[in-house]
Amino acid sequence: MSAANHKLLITMGDVCGIGPEIAVAAWAAEQQADLCLVGDVSVLRRALVQAGLTLPLAQLESVDELAQVPPHCLPVWQPSGLPADLLHCQQGRIDARAGAAAALCIEAAVREIQAGRAGGLVTAPLHKEALHAAGVSHPGHTEMLQALAAEPGAAPPPVRMMLANNELRTVLVTIHVSLRRAIEMLNTELILETLRISDAALRRVGIARPRIAVAGLNPHAGEGGLFGDEELQIIAPAIRQAQAEGIAASGPYAPDTVFMRARDAAGHPGEFDVVVAMTHDHGLIPVKYLGVEEGVNVTLGLPFVRTSPDHGTAFDIAGSGRADPASMRVAIAMARRLLPR
């Protein structure tokens, strides 16, 4: 493993949100030689001011120059092709230029990783409406990274979103689709694939035999078919197949209580290492309720490491100096843990 593969690239996110501020603030708190920001130099200079930081900035011609950056100097690699007028984008507003820039930074960072010049990616928040306004077809980071990770002519790799903090981990079977569409998408193979991906990912971070709780879809996990039969027809068969493969999966459990059982807190050791939830809000509300400051979004199944804060662009406080980089710092720490050694 070369030293280059231990570098982490931090994309600036949507320039109209808090992404640039938390990126520079997290770097300033860490000041580690393995971190390089990817974004617009002018925007990140403004972000330093907005974050109350007086640090010099070094513009890199390539990520390979990271080792030459002097101490206490913010390293920024600006990909070619960024819109020239990003400082004219009004903070706190949706702007197609901001969406285009966020997407371009992600694409450029992935190319650097695929070329072996970095090992992982930490992404600042982007805005899905800004992406759409820029003509980007993907609804969010996860789907974009999945497409970028695909080999030429091959299908994209199956990926899943995991949100984690110090007390709870959840993995989602479906993500950025309507609730109606999510229910239509559910089938035994999709759930089984999620269990396999979750088990493999947690083993890679040192959990020898991850205890996976599977949340049901319906109230009381269907109550034996009284409130819906998805648990009987598609969820339970996936759990049985996973168990036959040696995966420590169990359930389906009532979704209104399983997260409390899994929560690992002082005086309350969690019964499970992760909860697999059928839909986006089923899985993310419990983790975010515990506090976004310590939450990290991890994309499982990619051929490279990717993490991000578990909050959004926070347009309402963008540019005010009030953005908290805590979740970004935790995302950086998580990415380091996930890098192969």
Q: What pairs with residue 58 in β-bridges?
A: 75
Task: Name the residue with higher pLDDT: 30 or 14.
Answer: 14
pLDDT band at 1 (very low <50, low <70, confident <90, very high): very low
Element (H, E) at 27: helix 19-30
**What's the CATH fold of domain 166-290?**
Isopropylmalate Dehydrogenase (3.40.718)
CATH architecture of 1-158+304-341: 3-Layer(aba) Sandwich (3.40)
Give the DSSP per-residue string, 125-178.
---HHHHHHTT---SSHHHHHHHHHSPTTSPPPP-EEEEE-SS-EEEESS-SS-
Give the DSSP per-residue string, 282-331.
HHHHHHHHT-GGG-EEEEET-SSEEEEESS---GGGTTTT----HHHHHH
Angle at CA 328, nearest 5°, toward 276 and 337? Answer: 65
Does 265 score more than 90 pLDDT? no
Does 340 score more than 80 pLDDT? no
Give the position of tokens 């091959």. 154
Closest by CA position to 140, among listed 95, 104, 88, 175: 175
pLDDT tens digit sequence for 91-115 = 999 999 999 999 999 999 999 999 9
Does 335 score more than 50 pLDDT? yes
Q: Are 134 and 144 in contact (CB under 8 A)?
A: no
Q: State what percent of residues in the chain have pLDDT above 90.
A: 78
Residue 248's Cβ-count burial label (10 Å; 0-12, 13-18, 19+) is middle
Q: What is the pLDDT of residue 4?
A: 54
Q: Are 309 and 295 in contact (CB under 8 A)?
A: yes
The whole model's pTM is what? 0.86
Q: What is the pLDDT of residue 154?
A: 85
Q: What is the pLDDT of residue 266?
A: 87
Give the position of tokens 């979750």. 198
Q: State what percent of residues in the chain have pLDDT above 70.
A: 98
Does 36 score more than 60 pLDDT? yes
CA pair distance 251, 242, nearest whole angstrom: 11
Q: What is the pLDDT of residue 106?
A: 96
Does 3 score more than 70 pLDDT? no
CA pair distance 65, 75, nearest whole angstrom: 9
Q: What is the pLDDT of residue 137?
A: 87
Does 294 score more than 80 pLDDT? no
Closest by CA position to 311, among listed 113, 173, 50, 127: 127
Q: Are 325 and 29 in contact (CB under 8 A)?
A: yes
Q: What is the pLDDT of residue 9?
A: 97
Average pLDDT in the 287-303 region? 85
pLDDT tens digit sequence for 146-155 = 999 988 888 8
Q: Any idea how long the chain is?
A: 341
CATH 3.40.718.10 domain extents, the chain: 1-158+304-341, 166-290
Average pLDDT in the 55-70 region? 94
The pLDDT mean for the chain works out to: 92
CA pair distance 55, 73, nearest whole angstrom: 6
Q: What is the pLDDT of residue 109?
A: 97
Instruction: Give the strand order in the sheet containing 160-164.
Output: 57-60, 74-77, 35-38, 8-11, 120-123, 305-309, 296-300, 160-164, 169-172, 274-277, 211-215, 248-253
Give the position of tokens 């299908």. 155
pLDDT band at 206 (very low <50, low <70, confident <90, very high): confident
Does 341 score more than 70 pLDDT? no
pLDDT tens digit sequence for 234-263 = 999 999 999 999 999 999 999 999 999 999
Secondary structure of residue 102 in the 3-state scheme: helix
